[in-house]
Amino acid sequence: MKKLISSLFAICFLMTIGFTQNQKTTTEFDSSFAHTVYFWLKNPNNTDDRAKFETSLEKFLKNSKYAKTNFIGIPPVAKRDVVDGSFTYSLIVTFESAEAQESYQSEKAHLTFIKECKDLWEKVIVYDSQGLQK
């Protein structure tokens, strides 16, 4: 019985590793165009506002036709003066081109996110970057 349980555990473990490696290949960072957004919520300590924001943001990214990869973050506790941790959320989205990012701006998923959440934030700053052409 112990051998059977050990074997099942090993199979599950190997399947998990295989799935994780497969996921990495489909979400590899695309350095063509990065869209970085910082959000400052009006009520950053309100758990309902945060839940609404996170749910809407995740739904939007799942349904975007143009966003290739994404990262949603919150500020860590920083110990260096050069780190700005004043924002509530950060978002990094990559695109295959500047044209794809432009199309993303007017897609339904993006516009729905803005409509659902614009009353939650007091400030948004966007930094767009194109990768170096080598």
The candidate with the shortest Cα–Cα distance to 94, out of 35, 24, 28, is 35
Residues found in the chain: 134
| Average pLDDT score, the chain | 81
Do residues 82 and 69 share a domain?
yes
Do residues 25 and 38 share a domain?
no
What CATH number is associated with residue 55?
3.30.70.100
pTM recorded for the entire structure: 0.75
- What single letter denotes the amino acid at residue 95? F
Do residues 84 and 39 share a domain?
yes
pLDDT by residue (tens digit) across 9-43?
A: 333 333 333 333 333 334 566 678 899 999 999 99
Do residues 45 and 96 share a domain?
yes
Q: Looking at the domain assignment, is residue 41 inside a domain?
A: yes
Could you give the number of structural domains in the chain? 2
User: Measured between alpha carbons, how far is 97 from 101 in angstroms, rounded to an integer?
Assistant: 7
Q: Looking at the domain assignment, is residue 14 inside a domain?
A: yes
Do residues 80 and 113 share a domain?
yes
pLDDT by residue (tens digit) across 78-87?
A: 888 898 899 9
For residue 58, give its domain range. Answer: 31-129
* Tokens 């009353």 found at: 119
Percentage with pLDDT > 90 across the chain? 57
